[in-house]
Structure 1
Amino acid sequence: MADGFEIIPVIDLRHGQVVRARAGERASYAPIVTPLAKESSPGAVARGLMAAVRATRLYVADLDAIIDGTPPDRASLEAIRCACPDARLWVDAGFSHAAGVDAFLAAGLGRPVIGSESQTDAGLVRALGGRAVFSLDTRGSERLGPDALHDEPAHWPRDVIVMTLGRVGAGAGPDLDRLAALRASSPATRLYAAGGVRGPADVAALAGIGVAGALVASAIHDGSLGA
């Protein structure tokens, strides 16, 4: 593994279970079957993922909150926290208003991830600054969310996830050209690739263009990446 490069395991939650993400088609995600856990419960899968790559950070996408606008799944997040008490959680729960973020921060369940797809303007991202992680979301050639969030790095906090939904679980490799362009446009930003990482060669390629880490699920479950 490239020195200093961080692998961040990913959990996608739907109806209280961990599901297998493929190509960003969220409605078709099914409960996960993985050699890392005997069941698809959040705590069991989180424990298996964290041990597999000796990670210190875990990304959780609460798909019920993102798709349906429900409150964050506190029961699942608390189960993950109980199973992995030392893990630092990054949580995307479709946050779009300051009040929801403030309530989440007060609950102490992790660091909020603000997805561009859930925003109507750049206000929340700018107001939160480093208290949150920003996710710059695309699906294929479509940029999700306000153009200002894609075009103006001045709006971004230090930590930015580059989420390429069409490549999630698809084995297509990361979008190196896009990541390199974003890296050039904002050298001080810590970029985290999400979508397409298949194994050590992709990790080396990402590290080579200055990406700080990658969000990974399928390659860990399949054994292509491990400690």
Structure 2
Amino acid sequence: MQLIPVIDLMRGQAVRAVRGDRASYRPVVSQLCEGSDPVTVARALCQHCDATRLYVADLDALTGGQVQVAVLQQLLHALPGLELWVDAGFADADAAQQLRERIGTDAERVVCIFASESLGSREALARCCADRRAAVLSLDRRDGRVLDAAGCWESPSLWPDRVIVMTLERVGADAGPDLDTLREVQARSPGTKLVGAGGIRHEADLAAAAAAGAQAWLVASALHDGRLPPVRR
């Protein structure tokens, strides 16, 4: 099971996710490092997980504000071997391309996450995921309800090779992973590589997620709380 550490960005700081309720997020307090500076937190997380991939949720952008381009540039500059997965509420492929252009030369290491809660239409889904090997789609749900104006959940023929199964109420909730939804998505598209998100508490949860078909999992709280040991090659 591959661990993909996560940073939630809000107003230039790394914050702690709480059940996907973005209004309640506060600056992160971590056993891995001091403070909530995004670069410091990112370096500590990636070192702990032996990870070269980091997921960043830009909460400013996701709540209608501006993308935190300067922070993304700082992360890419400080961690030159890093691949940055960025969820910034992209409504379509043009929005993602605009971000890459603003980031500049390091944009080749950015993977834009196209999320069902943000995409504007089925046509946008098809265009964003036209390159199946490069694109990443996030299927989002909260409290049993899919967040999906574009119809992503019902369009597995348009899914890229990699799909995130995001159960928002489990994010930062210490409630265990949502393996039922993971299995549901796997049944719709057996060949898709699934990345889970939310709920991991300890190593047993990771083992159960792997057994359920996840190839990777997005993790933050269990890392900050010291409940997952360092990954060693």
For the aligned pair, the TM-score class normalised by the smaller chain equals over 0.9
Aligned-pair distance for 1:147?
6.4
Aligned-pair distance for 1:82?
2.4
Is structure 2 residue 180 aligned with structure 1 residue 185?
Answer: no
Match of 2:2 among 2, 6, 9: 6
Q: Distance in 2 between matches of 1:157 and 1:69?
A: 28
Is structure 2 residue 68 aligned with structure 1 residue 73?
Answer: yes
Gaps of 5+ in 2: none
Aligned-pair distance for 1:125?
2.2
Cα RMSD, aligned residues only: 1.3
Match of 2:95 among 80, 90, 100: 100
Is structure 2 residue 27 aligned with structure 1 residue 24?
Answer: no
The runs of at least 4 consecutive aligned structure 1 residues that moved more than 3 Å come to none
Whether the aligned pair in 2 keeps the contact of 1:22 and 1:169 (CA below 8 Å) is yes
Q: Which amino acid aligns with 1:96?
A: A
Whether the aligned pair in 2 keeps the contact of 1:10 and 1:215 (CA below 8 Å) is yes
Match of 2:146 among 139, 143, 148: 143
Whether the aligned pair in 2 keeps the contact of 1:20 and 1:31 (CA below 8 Å) is yes
Give the TM-score taking structure 2 as reference length.
0.91
Aligned-pair distance for 1:49?
0.3
Q: Which amino acid aligns with 1:215?
A: L
Aligned-pair distance for 1:187?
1.1
Cross-structure match for 2:213: 210
Q: Distance in 2 between matches of 1:157 and 1:75?
A: 29
Aligned residues, how many? Answer: 222
Q: Which amino acid aligns with 1:81?
A: L
Is structure 2 residue 134 aligned with structure 1 residue 134?
Answer: no
| 1:44-100 CA distance string (max 9 Å, x none) | 000010011111210000000011242x21111112112321111100011003321
| 1:14-70 CA distance string (max 9 Å, x none) | 000000001011011001111222221110000010011111210000000011242
Q: Which amino acid aligns with 1:48?
A: A
Q: Secondary structure at the match of 2:126?
A: helix
Is structure 2 residue 157 aligned with structure 1 residue 157?
Answer: no
Q: Which amino acid aligns with 1:160?
A: V
| 1:176-210 CA distance string (max 9 Å, x none) | 11111211221111110001011111111111122
Is structure 2 residue 205 aligned with structure 1 residue 197?
Answer: no
Q: Secondary structure at the match of 1:196?
A: coil
Name which of structure 1's ranges 163-172 and 90-99 shifts more when overlaid on structure 2.
90-99
Is structure 2 residue 88 aligned with structure 1 residue 85?
Answer: no
Q: Which amino acid aligns with 1:139?
A: R
Q: Distance in 2 between matches of 1:219 and 1:206?
A: 15
Cα pair distance change 1:29/1:138, threshold 3 Å = same
Q: Distance in 2 between matches of 1:45 and 1:124?
A: 33
Give the TM-score taking structure 1 as reference length.
0.93
Cross-structure match for 1:58: 54
Q: Distance in 1 between matches of 2:173 and 2:92?
A: 32
Q: Distance in 1 between matches of 2:31 and 2:187?
A: 39
Whether the aligned pair in 1 keeps the contact of 2:92 and 2:128 (CA below 8 Å) is no
Name which of structure 1's ranges 177-186 and 10-19 shifts more when overlaid on structure 2.
177-186
Is structure 2 residue 167 aligned with structure 1 residue 171?
Answer: no
